[in-house]
Structure 1
């Protein structure tokens, strides 16, 4: 179920939105919904990324286990080349 929400836009932004809507043959409403949807999705992914990074940092602080940047680069290069290789072993 959708509920109405109002958004106050200054005249310049409203005019730009109307122009974009006309050029895309969409309604201003559709463009605003699409923009908000994309923004929320991007920010949710960013939240997960930051949470994962914090968890990884805390794990490293507890254990000291890591791989070097060179090890990671080599592994990723192998994957990019199409080789199905296991990730490097973590060490202290």
Structure 2
């Protein structure tokens, strides 16, 4: 189900939206709708990333264990080069 929402735009922004929509081959309505959907998706992604970060930070504070950055870099370089690399393990960080 869809509902109607009214937004008020300054004249210059409305013109910019119309021009950008035309360049994208969309109507101004579709352009605005897509922009809102992208913004909402980004906000949801950011919220989930924040949740994961908080969860992992709490785990680090509880255990004191993490994978050292140098170990991560070496693993990623080896993997990117197509080499078989042993996944680094978390250990106590002093």
TM-score normalised over the length of structure 2: 0.86
Q: CA RMSD in A?
A: 1.5
CA distance in structure 2 between the aligned counterparts of 1:18 and 1:31, rounded to whole angstroms: 8
> By how many angstroms is 1:34 displaced?
0.8
Q: 1:14 to 1:65 in 2, by over 3 A?
A: same
Range with greater deviation from structure 2 (55-64 or 42-51): 42-51
Is the counterpart of residue 89 in structure 1 residue 57 in structure 2?
Answer: no
Deviations 1:2-40 (A, max 9, x none): 111111111110011112223333210000011111111
CA distance in structure 1 between the aligned counterparts of 2:24 and 2:65, rounded to whole angstroms: 52
Range with greater deviation from structure 2 (59-68 or 19-28): 19-28
Is the counterpart of residue 50 in structure 1 residue 28 in structure 2?
Answer: no
CA distance in structure 2 between the aligned counterparts of 1:57 and 1:29, rounded to whole angstroms: 42
Structure 1 gap segments, 5+ residues each: none
Range with greater deviation from structure 2 (47-56 or 72-81): 72-81
Which residue of structure 2 aligns with residue 75 of structure 1? Answer: 75
CA distance in structure 2 between the aligned counterparts of 1:84 and 1:50, rounded to whole angstroms: 32
Deviations 1:44-64 (A, max 9, x none): 111111111111110000001
Is the counterpart of residue 60 in structure 1 residue 60 in structure 2?
Answer: yes
Structure 2 gap segments, 5+ residues each: none
